[in-house]
Structure 1
Amino acid sequence: MGFTSALVVEEIDGTFWAVREPLGYAGAAEQFEVPVGFRTDFASVPRPVVWLIPRYGVYTRAAILHDYLLRSELVSEVDADGLFRRALRECAVSLPRRWMMWAAVRFGSRLQGVSPAALAVFLVIAVFALAFLLIPTVVVTVFLLLFWVIEVIVWPLDRSARHPGTKPVPRPELRT
């Protein structure tokens, strides 16, 4: 069980990547293959928490598989999230990080189809994750906003100082 092939991707733009060789995964009962050309943003992590969980890492293949399973609707959201958690374990993601990532995708699915026992586990994990993440996330968000304000103030100055033959300076964007 686990991934049966290496991940080969090609950058499309600053956010998205395309799978360039099939990414195989053998589950307990089924096999899945992320096809060539599948478009991914790796792990969809809110910007204020990328300090803890970057958009890519040892869990990148699991994140791509999860995105593929959700978009292809080969399995239910609950099963896709469960396969994501198992793939994270098989990629040697630590237990706390694995469960936080699973709780985030379950929350993103609005907890549809969750049994009462799984809901209780989710709530325990969510409370601990929120307690751990709240202060750093607020601090990072405040400084991201501050940096965005600085960029907005400096942008007109930088734009007016353009030299011949250079590309225009991109407008600052606040991404969350």
Structure 2
Amino acid sequence: MGFTSSLVVEEIDGEFWKVREPLTYQGADEVFEIPADFRTDFASVPRPLVWLIPRYGVYTRAAILHDFLVRTERVSRADADGIFRRTLRECDVSRPRRWMMWAAVRLGGGLRGISPAAFAVFLLIAVPSVIFLAIPTVVVTVFLVLFWCVELIAWVVDRFVPPDRRTRVPRPQMRT
């Protein structure tokens, strides 16, 4: 069981990538093949949290598989999230990180189809995670907004420079 092919991707733009060669995962009962040209953003991590969980890493294949399963609805959302957690373990993601990532995708899925026992596990993971992440997330968010303001000021100042002397400062964008 596990991934039986290598990941080959190509960048589309600053946010999205496409799978260049099929990515195959052998599950317990099924084989899932992510086709070439499948579009992904790798792990959908909010910008204030990329300091802890970058958008790509050892878990990239698991994130792409999860995107594929959710988008194609090959399995239920709860099963896709469970497969995600299992593939994170198979990719050697540490227990705290994989459980936080699982809790995040469960929350993103609206906790549909979750059993009472799984909901209790979710709470045991989510509550400490929120407490652990709250202060650094607020600090990072404040500084991202401040940096965006600095970029905005530089962009406005650049508009007043004659066109032949402009440094062509790109328009600032607030991305999540």
TM-score by length of 1: 0.95
Runs of 4+ in structure 1 deviating by more than 6 angstroms, as ranges, are none
The answer to whether the aligner puts 1:130 opposite 2:130 as a matched pair is: yes
Instruction: Provide the rounded CA distance (Å) in 1 between the counterparts of 2:156 and 2:175.
Output: 20
Are the counterparts in 1 of residues 43 and 60 from structure 2 also a CA contact under 8 Å?
A: yes
Aligned to 2:104: 104
Q: How does 1:67-82 map to 2 (within 5 A)?
A: 67-82=67-82
Aligned residue identity for 2:18? A
Alignment gaps of 5+ in structure 1:
none
Shift of 1:165: 9.8
Change (3 A) 1:171 1:121: same
Partner of 1:64: 64
8 Å Cα contact 1:162-1:168 kept in structure 2: no
Query: Contact (CA 8 Å) 2:69, 2:75: kept in 1 or not?
Result: yes
Aligned to 2:141: 141
Distance 1:166 1:17, change over 3 A: farther
Amino acid across the alignment from 2:110? R
**For residues 33 and 46 of structure 2, what CA distance do their matches in structure 1 show?**
27
Structure 2 unaligned regions, length at least 5: none
Residues 158, 167 of structure 2: 8 Å contact kept? no
Q: Deviations over 1:92-137 (max 9, x none)?
A: 0000000000000000001001000000000010111011100000
Where 1:21 maps in the other structure, the secondary structure is coil
Alignment TM-score, normalising by the size of structure 2: 0.95
Distance, in Å, in 2 between the alignment partners of 1:162 and 1:90 is 57
Residue type at the aligned position of 1:136: P
Which shows bigger deviation, 98-107 or 151-160?
Answer: 151-160
Identity %: 71
